[in-house]
Each structure stands twice: as structure tokens, then as C-alpha cells.
Amino acid sequence: MTLSVDASQAVKIDWFADTLSELASRAQRQRLHHGLLFIGQRGIGKQVSAHEMAGRLLCKQVRSDNTACGACQSCDLMQAGSHPDFYWLTTDKTQIGVDLIRSAIQSLSSKAQLSHNKVLIIPDAHLLSDAAANALLKTLEEPTPSTFIILVTHQHNRLLPTILSRCEKVIFNTPTTAESLDWLAKVRQDDAMSLPQDLLIDERSLAAYGGAPLLLLDSAEAQNAITFTRFIDTLKSIESGQSAEVDLLDVSTRWQNDAEQVIIWLQRYCHQQARQQSRDSLATDTDTDYWQLYTQTTQAAQKVRHAGTNKSMLLFELFNTFREATHYVR
Ligand SMILES: [Zn+2]
């Protein structure tokens, strides 16, 4: 369970309320397609919404606004994570194999135990192997009654066309910056997550995660992994001349698996600084040449994609260049 899922349970995500309401309303009128495909960027709350949608489909006393009542036996079991007619496919994040799909379909073939509906959610549906997709296809073509299958993906182009054509596509748009920041502020205020004090929640850090608020939140969980907060802290230390405190080789080694991300952030940072300099007309011969650094990060961004590139060494060289360019005796 990730931090963002916990957070969305504590502070409700509301930017998809209309979409879910419309789907639930159609379900009430028996007009909802049994195969749904939730499409949208990673980290914006699609899986959380799929879970909420399942709750609405299983609730025994759906409210007039099409939300789950939160009080019936079905809602209780959903909250406890033990609803007998709800299936959440858990994957190892590399591939969804045919055996897993077969056993999920098997579960769906039995009669609903509690609610009249049954729901299967397949997160990261783009990981379906071809065999698994084909096994699923039959169920999508000839569904058992009162069964809903919700596929969730941020890479729908990787799905077989046959799967795509048999599902109703539901597009989830990325929330606005204001919506995201507002929600993140509430999550911080709620304090149930004990977010690290130093976790940056602002426009720039949100942009670093492609505008996806749940990705920003999940970054706080990663112990050794690179987060935008740690990245910016490190850059600032180097820039302010405290680089003696930053062991560049250590940082480069720890971040090598995320080298592409780090380089993109550094590239963007140098670009912003360069533009700032141009605007402020502060560029004098004693100032750091951020355009030059930007060019170097662009070259590194190409290099990092080549097989066989020593990523930690590439990062180390880049940080060293950055240190030399930004911190010298003036
Ligand atoms: Zn209910």
C-alpha cells in the first residue's frame, strides 16, 4: 500500500467526482458497460477511483447522488478490505500472466455472495501478457451477469486492440495545479500520513512529478530513492558552497537507477536559472553560465539512454561540472 492510497482514504480525491457520479448513475439504470477502461496519467488517482467505483457498484443503498452509503454491510466489508464479491488483481509490476487472469475469471464465474454485483479491478492493465489478454477477452465478450471489470492503465497504447475495442474508455484528465496543491495541502494538514517536514509541496515540485499529486506524495516514501526535495536540497548545497558536505560520488551511486529523472530535473533547473538570468540581466562574467550547463545536461540526457553507459559516473561528472561552474572563488 502506498502513501498516496492511504492519503486518498484520509482526504478524499474529488477531482473525478463528476466522472464517477456519471458512471454510477448509469449503473443504477443498468446502462453501464461491463468492461471499463480507466485511462489517464500515472499518479492522478485512477486506481483509487476504480476502488471507489467498485464501492458504489457493490453498495446496497446507493445515495441519491450516486455515492456509496458508507453504512451498509457491503460498504463495511469494502472498507475492511474483505468484500467477497470484490477482486483486486495484485501484480508483481512486471507482467500480468495468464494464470492470474484465469483464476480471477474463475472467481467471477461464481454467483455473487453478498451484493448483486461483482467487480474485478485490473490495475496496470498494460502489463497483461498476450495470453492473459486473450483469456480476458472471452470474459469481456461474454460476461457473466452483473459482473464489472475495470481495467486501469496509464499506457493504453500497449493494450491489444481487441481489448481496447471491447471496453468503454473512460478518460481521467490530470487535475489542475490548483486542485492538486489544494489536496496536497489538506493531506499535510490532516497529518495522518506524517509527511516529512521537508517534503516540498509547491508548483515547482508538482511540475517535477508531471503534475501528478500522488506521485509527489509517494516520493516521500522512498527511503534511498531520489525525490525532488532531496534533489533540490543537494543542488542548493552545492550552489551555496556547502558542497564539501555533499558526497557527490555517494549521491551519484545512490541515484544511478533514477539517472534519467535526475538529469531531466537538472536540465530543467539549469534552463530555468538561465532564463532567470536573462530576465534579470544579471549575467556578468563572474556569474555561472547556466546555458552552458544546460547544454551539458542535454548531452547527458542523450548519453544516459545508451546501453552500457556508466550512469553513476555520468551523474558524478555532471554534478562535478555543476559544482565547478556554480561554486568557485569569486
Ligand atoms: Zn453502502
Structure confidence by residue, pLDDT tens digits, 51-106: 999 999 999 999 999 999 999 999 999 988 889 999 999 877 789 999 999 999 99
Counting residues of the chain whose pLDDT is more than 70, the rounded percentage is 92
Do the domain assignments include residue 37? Answer: yes
Asked whether the beta carbons of 172 and 40 are under 8 A apart, the reply is yes
Do the domain assignments include residue 178? Answer: no
User: Cα of 116 to ligand 1 centre, how many Å?
Assistant: 13
Report the chain's C-alpha Rg in angstroms.
24
In this prediction, residue 286 has a pLDDT band, given cuts at 50, 70 and 90, of very low
CATH number at residue 10: 3.40.50.300
Query: Within 10 A of 279 (CB to CB), how many other CB atoms are there?
Result: 8
The predicted model scores a pTM of: 0.78
User: Cα of 231 to ligand 1 centre, how many Å?
Assistant: 44
Kindly state whether residues 165 and 52 are assigned to the same domain: yes
User: Is the confidence at residue 329, as pLDDT, over 80?
Assistant: no
In this prediction, residue 163 has a pLDDT band, given cuts at 50, 70 and 90, of very high
Set of cell numbers at residue 179: 486542485
Residue with cell 516529512: 196
User: Cα of 60 to ligand 1 centre, how many Å?
Assistant: 5
Phi, psi angles (nearest 5°) of residue 87? -125, 130
Set of cell numbers at residue 55: 464501492
Q: What is the mean pLDDT of residues 251-273?
A: 90
Phi, psi angles (nearest 5°) of residue 86? -120, 125
How far the first Cα of the chain sits from its last, in Å, is 50
Count how many domains the chain has: 2
Q: Which domain holds residue 240?
A: 226-330
Res 315: pLDDT: 94
User: From CA 46, how far away is CA 184, in angstroms rounded?
Assistant: 16
Residues 6 or more apart whose Cβ sits within 8 Å of residue 310: none
Convert the pLDDT of each residue in 238-256 to its tens digit: 887 765 667 888 889 888 8
Set of cell numbers at residue 143: 460476461
User: Cα of 61 to ligand 1 centre, how many Å?
Assistant: 5
User: Cα of 75 to ligand 1 centre, how many Å?
Assistant: 4
Kindly state whether residues 119 and 258 are assigned to the same domain: no
User: From CA 66, how far away is CA 68, in angstroms rounded?
Assistant: 7
User: Cα of 57 to ligand 1 centre, how many Å?
Assistant: 9
User: Is the confidence at residue 9, as pLDDT, over 80?
Assistant: no
Kindly state whether residues 86 and 156 are assigned to the same domain: yes
User: Cα of 25 to ligand 1 centre, how many Å?
Assistant: 15
Question: Looking at the chain, how many residues does it have?
Answer: 330
Do the domain assignments include residue 314? Answer: yes
Do the domain assignments include residue 180? Answer: no
User: Is the confidence at residue 200, as pLDDT, over 60?
Assistant: yes
DSSP classification of residue 128 = B
